[in-house]
Amino acid sequence: MTKLNQIIAVEKGVKGGALRELAEVQSGLHKPALLAGISRSYQPKDEEGEQLPPESTRVQLKSEDVLRRTADTLTRLFDVTATKDWTNCQATADVTVEGETLLRDVPVTYLLFLEKQLGELLTFTKKLPVLDAAEAWVFDDSSDTWRTDAVRTIRTKKVPRNHVKAEATEKHPAQVEVYYEDIAIGYWTTTKFSGALPARRVNELADRIEKLRQAVQFAREEANATEVTDRKVGEVVFGYLFR
C-alpha cells in the first residue's frame, strides 16, 4: 500500500510536470495559424481559361483536443492532491516525550504547524538574557526579581593638602607643593537587581523545547506513514466541466 509520505513526495513532481505540459499544450491556442484550415478549388470562366490546382491547408490544432489533453494532464494532479488531502484528514499520531503522552491523535497538518512554532520558540529562548555570572544572585520574593547581597563601598572626597618643600628664609619665600588626599566622607550600600534568568533555567527551557520538537517530528513521520486510499476525483471534475 502507498503511504502518505510517498504521496507527498510524488505530488511536487506531478504538479511541476503538469504545469510544464499544460504550458506546452495550451501555447498552441495563441497561434491562430495552427487553428485555421482552408480548402479551395479553381474553375476558369470558360474552357479555354487557365486551369489551376486546388489548394488546401489542414487544421493542425483543435481546441477540443487541447481540452482533452488538459483534462488528462490535470486529472493526475487532482487525484494525487485529493489522495493527500483526504489522507491528511485521517493521518494522526500521539506526541510522546520520555514516555509521557502529551497530545493524542494530533492531525499531521497541526504537527507541521507545531514543529515550526517550536523551532521559532527555541530560537527565542536561546536569546533570553541571563544573569551575570560574576555576581552571586539570590531570588528576592519581595521584588520578584533576582538580587545580589548588599555591598558597602566608601565614598571619598579629594581634599587639598600643602607640603612644605623648603622653609621660608629672609631671601626666599617657602616652597610649598599642593597635593590632594582622598578622605572618606561616607559609605554606599549597593544591592543589584535583575529581571534576567539564571543560565541553568534558560538551558532547561531550551532542552525541554528541543525534546518536544523532536517528539513532534517523530509523530509527524509516524502520521505520514499512514496508508492512503487512492482518490479519483479528476475524471468526475473534468467529466462535468468539458462534457
Which residue ranges of the chain lie beneath pLDDT 50?
none
pLDDT for 101-158, tens place per residue? 999 999 999 999 999 999 999 999 999 999 999 999 999 999 999 999 999 999 999 9
From the list 91, 89, 76, 96, the residue with the least C-alpha distance to 17 is 76
- Other beta carbons less than 10 A from residue 230's beta carbon: 13
| Distances in whole angstroms, Cα of residue 190 to Cα of each of 70, 77, 137, 154 | 79, 71, 14, 11
Q: Which three cell numbers stand for residue 153?
A: 563601598
Distance CA 183, CA 181 (A): 6
CA torsion angle for 103, 104, 110, 112 (degrees, to 10)?
A: 80
Q: Are strands 137-140 and 145-148 parallel, antiparallel or unpaired?
A: antiparallel
Which pLDDT does position 12 carry in this prediction? 85
**What's the whole-number average pLDDT of the chain?**
89
Q: Which three cell numbers stand for residue 92?
A: 494522526
Which pLDDT does position 177 carry in this prediction? 85
Start-to-end CA span in the chain (Å):
33
